[in-house]
Amino acid sequence: MISFWGCKENTILPRDLVPAVDNINTFDSSFDLITHTLYQDSFLTGGYRSGLQLSSSATYYTACGTILSDPSFGKTVAAMHVEVLPAVPNFTFKAATTAMTIDSVVLSMPFKMAYGDTNATAGTQTFKLYRSIKTGTELSRDSAQYEFTKDSFDAANPLASLSVDFNTISSDSPLVAGLHQQPQLRFQLPSWFGDSVKAQVSLGATGALATYSGFLSWWKGFAIVPDSTTGRTLGYFDSYRTRLTFYYRYPKTGGGEDTVNDVFSFDPYYCNRFNTITHNYTGSLSASFINTQSSLGDSLLFLQNEPGLVNVFHVPGILQLPNVIVNRAELVFTGAPIQNWSDTLAYSPLARLQIFRTDTTGNNDKVAEDYAQFNSSAYVDGKRSNVVIGGLTYPQYKFTVTYSIQKIISQKDSTFRFKIMGANQGYPAAYRSILCGSGSKQIETKPVLNLIYTKINKL
């Protein structure tokens, strides 16, 4: 009689219960990977898809800026779209429009962080603010926007221009109405914009501010676009907390004037926001390693947070194993010895990778089932650590994928592939890593699957 083993969750052993290797029943082996770098597109940057209203997530930040020439990853440009609404429908100012004087209107957005070479001598970039003129439903909050989705705006007539110094923005504290504010973008809009809003308020029930939908139809949002010809930094901004502030004054009863303000805000229940992010790898180190389909795999792996470069790989050697019990399966990826460390200091390595299961097309991604088996990303891991090899320190990433490897072996699934990429922490396109690939001749740093398994005894 032969005992058959089924791929069940409770068969995967916790780390402290993995049997000792005796090379009689339980063995440890290492298997080579075949690795390829690909570009991962269709990254959601706004709107709605599959039950996720990304535009309403308070911890998702939008990028704006240009990295003109990362020597290893080329050019990245990020622009953003954001919408605002008055606090209530049928909005009115605190004074009659005929009696008030608008002094200024300012669009502001809190600064969160900068990614890139913030120590560069030329740390200043120019951002321009435009009126969005989007049409149709493809840019609405009920549709999905991806990194390739482009806003439609009146490019011939910018509303404002702003110089952003990424060397100092994190410590800048603008003084507004006598109070210091947190670091932020601040665009002062032209006077005609305030006059236009005031005129719509004066129209009452027939004006654009009578309803939320009416206002968003009249003013479809703002596009913030960087100069794409210079820069070494992406800025990340809390567009969830975008404010459009009207500063105005009106006569007080008995003489004098009152100075007040009213605020329009991003409303997560009605407004949309999204990022447009483009990469161009031409002329960079990574360019010759993308989509090579080399039979032995690439010698270098290039990884970014989405949207960007990912790695798809498989482990052909494990298909030769009989149906064994996998006690532990660990994937190990190590930094490439030729990595340009000066670049890495400027464009920081990924703090964590995430792993997906896919297939030979590289398109049918699913979250690796190993995450669910112990209900913990900590068990699967993927965090960056440091390892010393030959006296040198390298970054290293490990994944525990016992469940997935057991499934591949049991089902002899030759179409099974893994995909790894940066684990996005709310900062799209930030951070990157260069790892040793399967085509490398550096044996000590090549990616590997370390396996501990037990033979199934025949009775």
CA 81, CA 237: separation in Å to the nearest integer? Answer: 12
381-389 and 392-400: which strand pairing?
A: antiparallel
Q: Is residue 124 part of a domain?
A: yes
Residue 272 shares a structural domain with residue 302: no
Query: Within a domain: residue 184?
Result: yes
Q: How many CB atoms are located within 10 Å of the residue 255 CB? A: 6
One domain, residues 125 and 205: yes
Phi, psi of 401, deg, nearest 5: -130, 45
Checking if the pLDDT of 181 tops 50, the result is yes
- Same-domain check for residues 275 and 328: no
Among the candidates 280, 303, 337, a domain finishes at 280
Q: Is residue 448 within 8 Å of residue 30, measured between CB atoms? A: yes
Phi/psi at 384 (5° precision):
-75, 135
Residue after which a domain boundary falls, among 259, 280, 301: 280
Do 253 and 345 fall within a single domain?
A: no
Asked whether the beta carbons of 47 and 143 are under 8 A apart, the reply is: yes
Which stretch of 41-45, 179-183, 405-409 has the lowest confidence by average pLDDT?
Answer: 179-183
Over residues 199-220, mean pLDDT: 96
Domain count, the chain: 2
C-alpha 266/C-alpha 87 separation (Å) is 10
Tokens linked to 346: 């400027």
Per residue in 255-298, pLDDT (tens digit) is 888 889 999 999 999 999 999 999 999 999 999 999 998 999 99
Q: Is 272 helix (H, G, I), strand (E, B) or coil?
A: coil
Domain span at residue 373? Answer: 9-32+292-454
Q: 98-117: per-residue pLDDT in tens?
A: 889 999 999 999 999 999 98
The overall average pLDDT reported for the chain is 89
**If pLDDT is split at 50, 70 and 90, which confidence band does 459 have?**
low
Establish if 37 belongs to a structural domain: no
CB 29 within 8 A of CB 328: no
Position 322 in a domain = yes
Spatial distance between the Cα atoms of 219 and 134, rounded to a whole number of angstroms: 10
- List pLDDT tens digits, range 296-354: 999 999 999 999 999 999 999 999 999 899 999 999 999 987 656 567 667 888 999 99
Residue 39 belongs to a domain = no
- Considering only CA atoms, which of 157, 452, 151, 143 is closest in space to residue 321? 452
Residue 9: which pLDDT band, with cuts at 50, 70 and 90? very low
User: What pLDDT score does 2 carry?
Assistant: 31
Last residue of a domain, one of 257, 280, 303: 280
Examine the pLDDT at 53 and tell me if it is beyond 80.
yes
C-alpha to C-alpha distance for 36 and 299, rounded to whole angstroms: 9
| Residue 286 covered by a domain | no
Cα–Cα distance measured from residue 60 to residue 137, given in angstroms and rounded to the nearest whole number: 22
Residue 3 pLDDT = 33
Q: What per-residue confidence (pLDDT) applies to 362? A: 65
pLDDT band of residue 216 (cuts 50, 70, 90) is: very high
Q: Do 254 and 111 fall into the same domain?
A: yes
Phi, psi dihedrals of residue 304, rounded to the nearest 5°: -135, 165
Structure tokens that stand for 261 in this block: 């303000």
| Centroid of chain to Cα 72 | 19
SS3 letters across 115-157: EECCCCCCCEEEEEEEEECCCCCCCCCCCEEECCCCCCECCCC
451, 456, 447, 411: which is closest to 328 by C-alpha? Answer: 451
| Same-domain pairing of 260 and 321 | no
pLDDT per residue as tens digits for the range 405-428: 999 999 999 999 999 999 888 899
**Residue 160: which H helix or E strand, with range?**
strand 160-165
* One domain, residues 88 and 228: yes
325 with 237, same domain?
A: no
Domain-located, residue 2: no
Residues 196 and 323 in one domain: no
Please write the tens of the pLDDT for every residue from 349-361.
899 999 998 888 7
Same domain? For 110 and 239 the reply is yes
Same domain for 252 and 297, yes or no, is no
Give the per-residue SS3 of 285-332.
HHHHHECCCCCCCCCEEEEEECCEEEEEEECHHHHHCCCCEEEEEEEE
- Tell me if the pTM is above 0.85: yes
What's the length of the chain?
Answer: 459
**Is residue 257 located within the same domain as residue 206?**
yes
Query: What does the pLDDT read at residue 21?
Result: 84
Asked if residue 135 belongs to a domain, the reply is yes
Q: How far is 314 from 302, CA to CA, in rounded Å? A: 16
Q: Nearest CA to 102 among 15, 28, 195, 23?
A: 195
Pairwise pLDDT comparison (434 vs 123), residue with the higher score: 434
Between 378 and 383, the more confident residue is 383
